[in-house]
């Protein structure tokens, strides 16, 4: 099979899915720049149609053992048109549960042919300096593995004569576990520390934050991805809701044993 183009598609509020997708893309086509479709921000994508001779790397974060719901919504606007797809889920060193099988089903539904799957580890969105959870992941070893994974897939596909792929088997249950319901809270803003730089507004994937007089967060739109927490240069955005603070402590105490990426062909 001749690959005309490598394309990266990702939804990545805190940037870890983007890093791995980019490393896989580099491995697939060393020296060439992959075309990127960033689905993270409401204004950054339009309806996208892929071509049958493209190799597409699709990366999303795991939320509550499932694909992040906003990523599902945005991927559903894309047409795969028979392109080969490499599936990537990023999780914060707890578990990825049914996310990869869900991403595989979704990729098929929108017209891709999944050829490989993977689960990589990214710094947990809830990780902080005081309560680190998989901090610094993906690290150099993860990125090396991602690049080698890309090279292996591209080598395999270019050596193929036809364009029908072996069915891909990935772990996970169908029906999937229950996903994350709406959370009745959002990160807390310390208005006294806010300088009005607007980074939190720019990095919010759901358009939940506005600055009209003072910062306001629409709790119904907030997906609790923590992009605003991580992007605030003043440390003015924090997680204070007691159930989430408890969860952060639990994750810090129980998910600190390093997990390694898993690859599926
Ligand atoms: C609301 C929410 C739920 C999450 N659920 C899980 C989970 O079930 N398992 C896990 O290991 N990590 C979980 N994480 C952590 C993310 O999957 C992880 O940090 C990922 O690397 C974030 O990807 P991004 O940097 O591309 O946004 C969750 C994060 C958020 C914000």
Other C-beta atoms lying within 10 Å of the C-beta of residue 262: 15
Q: Which fold has domain 188-253?
A: Alpha-Beta Plaits (3.30.70)
Question: For residue 163, is pLDDT > 70?
Answer: no
Q: How far is the CA of 179 from the centre of ligand 1 (A)?
A: 12
Q: How far is the CA of 63 from the centre of ligand 1 (A)?
A: 5
Instruction: Please name the CATH architecture into which domain 5-175 falls.
Output: 3-Layer(aba) Sandwich (3.40)
Q: How far is the CA of 173 from the centre of ligand 1 (A)?
A: 19
Q: What is the mean pLDDT of the chain?
A: 94
pTM for this one? 0.97
Q: Which atom of ligand 1 is nearest to the CA of 15?
A: 25
For the stretch 192-231, pLDDT in tens is: 999 999 999 999 999 999 988 778 899 999 999 999 999 9
Q: Whose CA is nearest to atom 28 of ligand 1?
A: 63
What is the DSSP track for 192-250? TT-----HHHHH-TT--EEEESEEEE-TTT-----HHHHH-TT--EE---HHHHHHHHH
* Ligand 1 within 6 A of CB of 66: no
Q: Which atom of ligand 1 is nearest to the CA of 94?
A: 11
Q: Which atom of ligand 1 is nearest to the CA of 13?
A: 27
**How do the domains of the chain map onto residue ranges?**
5-175, 188-253
For the stretch 5-61, pLDDT in tens is: 999 999 999 999 999 999 999 999 876 777 999 999 987 667 899 999 999 999 999
* Ligand 1 within 6 A of CB of 230: no
């Amino acid at each position: 099979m001749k690959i005309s183009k490598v394309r990266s598609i990702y939804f990545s509020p805190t940037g870890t899915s983007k890093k791995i997708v980019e490393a896989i893309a580099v491995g697939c086509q060393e020296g060439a720049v992959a075309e990127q479709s960033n689905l993270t921000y409401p204004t950054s994508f339009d309806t996208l149609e892929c071509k049958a001779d493209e190799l597409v790397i699709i990366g999303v974060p795991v939320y509550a053992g499932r694909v992040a719901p906003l990523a599902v919504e945005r991927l559903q606007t894309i047409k795969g048109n028979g392109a080969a797809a490499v599936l990537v889920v990023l999780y914060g060193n707890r578990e990825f549960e049914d996310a990869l099988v869900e991403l595989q089903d979704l990729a098929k539904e929108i017209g891709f042919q999944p050829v490989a799957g993977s689960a990589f580890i990214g710094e947990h969105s809830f990780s902080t300096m005081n309560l680190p959870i998989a901090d610094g992941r993906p690290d150099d070893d993860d990125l090396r593995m991602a690049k080698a994974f890309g090279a292996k897939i591209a080598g395999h596909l270019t050596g193929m004569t036809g364009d029908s792929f072996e069915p891909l088997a990935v772990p996970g249950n169908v029906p999937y576990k229950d996903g994350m319901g709406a959370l009745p809270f959002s990160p807390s803003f310390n208005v006294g520390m806010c300088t009005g730089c607007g980074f939190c507004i720019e990095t919010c994937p759901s358009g939940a934050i506005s600055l009209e007089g003072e910062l306001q967060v629409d709790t119904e739109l907030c997906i609790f991805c923590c992009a605003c927490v991580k992007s605030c240069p003043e440390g003015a955005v924090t997680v204070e809701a007691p159930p989430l603070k408890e969860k952060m402590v639990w994750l810090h105490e129980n998910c600190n044993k390093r997990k390694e990426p898993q690859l599926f062909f």
